[in-house]
Amino acid sequence: MEDTAHPLLRSYGRIKSRPIKPRQAALVETLLPQIRAPQAPFDPADLMPGAEEVWLEIGFGGGEHMASQAARAPNVLIIGCEPFLNGVASAVRHVDEQGLKNVRIKDGDARELIGHLPDACLNRVFILFPDPWPKARHHKRRIVQPEVLADLARVMKPGGKLRFATDVAGYADWALERVLASPDFKWAAERADDWRVPPADHITTRYEEKRLGDCEPVFFDFERV
């Protein structure tokens, strides 16, 4: 939980850029309140009774990956977190157009939501192409930090999967070093293709196709010990 005397450093930049399109803005007003994740402690099982699994995507961008995964797995509840308002508006549009009933959205900091979750409730967590905060003085703002990994370990079930992807070489090294230092996760990769080749269930987004980083995308799949 956030210490009000020492508030969390923001792990994201601006929260809005261009004006939100009228149709998306209307959905933010009408649909988002219906699918917004609770703002207080809650049990995901209450959001979708009968869900076979619960997945969390931290920083879903425009929501393409989240919506596509939800469409593939209608019996899985997917909770997505994104502070960027334009991304939230885009995601709500995807939910509406695809008629998805298994998505809940937290429009804000994922760390706040994680603090509201009960122990061992998540089967999967995605952190895909997060803000790399490339300047050394800003590295403390990267979402992959020991304390965040500890929080994720608390809310993930044993055997749960954590996927981290980036196209920034320095962030790949940073994340791998910190996850491997955690006693709560293990990396089962045995050869380069295990992290250089997109996993079979990965969904490529328009953002990923832009290749804005300095290396080819890498995909690290870790398991909750």
Catalytic annotation, residues: 131
At 19, the amino acid letter reads P
CA distances from 136 to 140, 143, 170, 178 (A): 8, 14, 10, 16
Residues 65, 113, 106: CA angle, nearest 5 degrees = 45
Q: Return the structure tokens found at 77.
A: 């509840």
**Cβ atoms 162, 185 nearer than 8 A:** yes
Q: How far apart are CA 101 and CA 78, in angstroms?
A: 10
Q: Is 165 helix (H, G, I), strand (E, B) or coil?
A: strand
Q: How far apart are CA 108 and CA 94, in angstroms?
A: 18
Tokens 């992807």 found at: 165
Q: How far apart are CA 42 and CA 23, in angstroms?
A: 30
Q: How far apart are CA 178 and CA 173, in angstroms?
A: 9
